[in-house]
Structure 1
Amino acid sequence: MSRECHISSLVVHSRPERIPAIIERIAGVEGAEIHGGQETGKLIVTLETETENQVVERINAIQLLDGVLAATLVFHHFEPVQERE
């Protein structure tokens, strides 16, 4: 089975008073990066994973964080990983 690389982006709508705790928790999610939105409570998050299941698992984990109102998938792309010889 060939390996894949999945790149996804999300908008995470959050309660403003919970933003610092949410940022800390998302930073602990493997493959997740926050790219802004702290001022508005709408965090822009990217995920880099090896499988589609990991994308779903991480979105669900973020969705369940205290103070998160919604985690919405905006973009998803995947391609095979080229093995080096």
Structure 2
Amino acid sequence: MSFRLHTAKPKLALWMLVAAADVVLLVASLGLMTMLLAIAGVATVAVAAAGTWMLLRRGVPERRVPARVAVPVSNRRRM
């Protein structure tokens, strides 16, 4: 059996609830339209970054593993 502190998981859950409440308060204070514009801006930046990364990645040649070459066994005389 493994030993776990009883206070480890509930603290994380509590902070996640606090973060969710902060988001709700932020939307209520800024207004829904401002929050939607902020989300649209973040999405635009994310799409632009992903597109740039894909375009830069496209120029990189794929790594090819060299083919194995059969090496002949030397012909030694047994003594």
Category of TM-score, reference length = shorter chain: under 0.3
TM-score for both structures, normalised by structure 2: 0.26
More helix by share: 2
More strand by share: 1
| RCO higher in structure (CA 8 A, sep ≥6) | 1
Please say which structure displays the higher CA radius of gyration: 2
TM-score for both structures, normalised by structure 1: 0.24
